A = this chain, B = another copy of it.
Amino acid sequence: MRRIRLTIAYDGTNYCGWQIQPNAITIEEVLNKALCRLTKEEIAVIGASRTDSGVHAQANIAVFDTASTIPADRFAVALNQKLPDDIVITKSEEVAADWHPRHQEHIIKTYEYRIVNSPVLDPTKRLYSYQVTYQLDVDQMREAASFIVGKHDFASFCNVRTNAKTTVRTVTELTLTQQGEELIVKITGDGFLYNMVRIIVGTLLRVGRGFYTPKEVREIVEAKNRMAAGVTVPPQGLKLIEIQYKTER
């Protein structure tokens, strides 16, 4: 048996997220079925990141074990012929038989959240961004972002239905970049709590609109209480960009 690692890009619009569930189609299920058709084996992938319904990915990671003789790097091409257009394997490679995409010493993930800040709606962007028609003060949002960066207890930025053992995480980078009418929030850290990125963005948007001062965001972090922070923004603006493993950096 070999362990193969896949890098997977997907448009999450038509899926109820990554993780298999009854009565709803998910990326994991579609991937397993394509692998079974290709190899004639019963295959269940192990994914690195369980993205939510409607969330996109440029490079999620998954592994599976196979007795197939297909060369490791050919799985990408072979799978893409069996997958729908909205799921693309961008890389396939062999890894050590015990390599697990979630149980690694140090994992760094990067997400992007795309905001379209324009008074005029653009329906071609509705599935890949969150449209905000009011004016945003991006400088204030950047100042607020500085209070998010670092090692903190992010309990204020975590959906209460979490089952995480600890809510302490480290955000190593949080940048806001304007590209025309788009504002891209890019966040990197050693792990993210349930809805954490979407609650951080919801809180920064409240700063951008003038409801919170940047310094109030520091108080929101210190409150360690979900009620203190802003709303959870919709999933379609969110994209998992990259997962880095310590051994490979």
Contact = CB atoms under 8 A, between A and B. Distances in A.
A9 B124 CA distance: 8
A9 B120 CA distance: 9
Interface string A122-139: 111010100000000000
Copies of this chain, complex-wide, total 2
A126 B9 contact: no
A9 B58 contact: no
Given A85-B126, A126-B85, A179-B179, A9 B121 contact: yes
A122 B58 contact: yes
Interface stretch (A86-94, A147-155, A191-199): A86-94
A11 B123 contact: yes
Contacts of A186: none
Interface size class of A (residues with CB under 8 A): 10 to 19
Interface in A92-149: 120-124, 126, 128
A64 interface: no
A5 interface: no
Contacts of A11: 123-124, 126
A8 to B, nearest CB: 10
Interface string A2-13: 000000011100
B179 A123 contact: no
Shortest beta-carbon contacts, A-B, top 5: A11-B123, A88-B121, A11-B124, A86-B123, A90-B120
